Amino acid sequence: MAHLYIFGTILFTVYGQLVIKWRIPFHGALPAEMLPKLIFLLKLFFDPFIMSGFVAAFLASLCWMAAMTAFDLSYAYPFMGLNFVLVFLASAILLSEQVTLYKVVGLFLIVLGIVISSRG
């Protein structure tokens, strides 16, 4: 049951990353000047979907705190590597981001590291 806290952390984190990346292009490029840059970032912050990404980050933090009551950090933290895998897969499918051999090999190594470290 306590593993659900780890997976909640992962799922909320992945959601937040994906929704923020999905919404950013709707707002255009980041201006170079300081005041327009600040206004741009505030507009991003108040986008309801981006705000949901911040809420997801907060919920991920709550799940992580709950996970820390049940697991050693050295056991739980390697699972955060799954964020890389899930964001990569979802961004390729949902956002049409590029899949390369180097990225696939890197993800394989991350998964291998998760498997090895979770057994120790």
The three-state secondary structure class of 17 is: helix
Show the DSSP H helices in 24-119 as ranges: 34-45, 48-68, 73-76, 82-94, 101-119
The identity of residue 30, as a single letter, is L
Closest by CA to 12, choosing from 53, 60, 52, is: 60
Per-residue pLDDT of the chain (120 residues; tens, 9 = 90+): 899 999 999 999 999 999 999 999 999 999 999 999 999 999 999 999 999 999 999 999 999 999 999 999 988 998 898 899 999 999 999 999 999 999 999 999 988 988 888 776
The model's pTM is 0.87
Q: How far apart are CA 42 and CA 54, in angstroms?
A: 13
Q: How far apart are CA 112 and CA 114, in angstroms?
A: 5
Number of domains in the chain: 1
Residues spanned by the domain of 93: 3-119
| DSSP single-letter state for residue 78 | G
Q: Which residue has the tokens 């964001």?
A: 87
Q: Please report the pLDDT score of residue 116 as a whole number.
A: 86
